């Protein structure tokens, strides 16, 4: 589930905030991109799951500015670790980082506590979309997209119906 940003738009984070989140996660332990994706998704209760197309360029940017380096030693291949410069950057921006992490935690709480059955269903959908070893054919992709669009329409109708009922 991407999108649903705090400002009602399609972005979960404001410009540049993801960089802070990635650094904060790397300050806890070295991680690879998919670990960062999973951790953000988990901490937001599924409200946001960044794509690899967002995470890997962010990791490259952080490496380019000297805030991260490829991890060394017993750490998994393709992992990154924070540098002293990255820690200094986090320290300088600690209030902002705290605010961002707090918002993530709040999103996670509201998602997980209010709608655990919905979160489980979305996780099941994600799993189904990742299943299989062969790429989707054009026909399969169109059928899956149609099924998701139908489900979205039904959800909107349910939400609109409950909104109308609560106004009466």
Rounded Cα gap, residues 126 and 56, in angstroms: 20
Whether the model pTM is above 0.75:
no
Phi, psi (rounded to 5 degrees) for 140 = -60, -45
Tokens standing for 10?
Answer: 């399609």
Q: In what order do the strands lie in the sheet with 79-82?
A: 31-32, 79-82, 68-70
pLDDT digits (tens), the chain, 168 positions: 344 443 334 467 888 899 999 999 999 999 999 999 989 988 887 778 888 999 999 999 999 999 999 988 766 678 999 999 999 999 999 999 999 888 888 877 665 555 667 767 877 888 888 887 888 899 999 999 999 999 999 988 987 876 555 555
């Amino acid at each position: 589930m991407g999108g649903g940003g705090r400002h009602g738009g399609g972005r979960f984070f404001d410009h540049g905030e993801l960089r802070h989140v990635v650094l904060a996660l790397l300050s806890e332990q070295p991680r690879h991109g998919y670990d960062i994706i999973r951790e953000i998704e988990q901490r937001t209760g599924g409200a946001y799951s960044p794509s690899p197309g967002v995470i890997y360029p962010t990791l490259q940017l952080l490496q380019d500015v000297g805030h991260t380096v490829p991890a060394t030693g017993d750490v998994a291949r393709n992992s990154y670790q924070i540098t002293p410069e990255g820690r200094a950057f986090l320290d300088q921006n600690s209030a902002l980082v705290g605010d961002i992490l707090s918002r993530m935690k709040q999103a996670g709480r509201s998602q997980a506590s209010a709608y655990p059955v919905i979160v489980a269903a979305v996780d099941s959908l994600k799993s189904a979309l990742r299943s299989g070893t062969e790429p989707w054919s054009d026909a399969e992709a169109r059928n899956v997209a149609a099924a998701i669009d139908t489900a979205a329409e039904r959800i909107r109708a349910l939400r609109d119906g409950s909104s109308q009922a609560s106004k009466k």
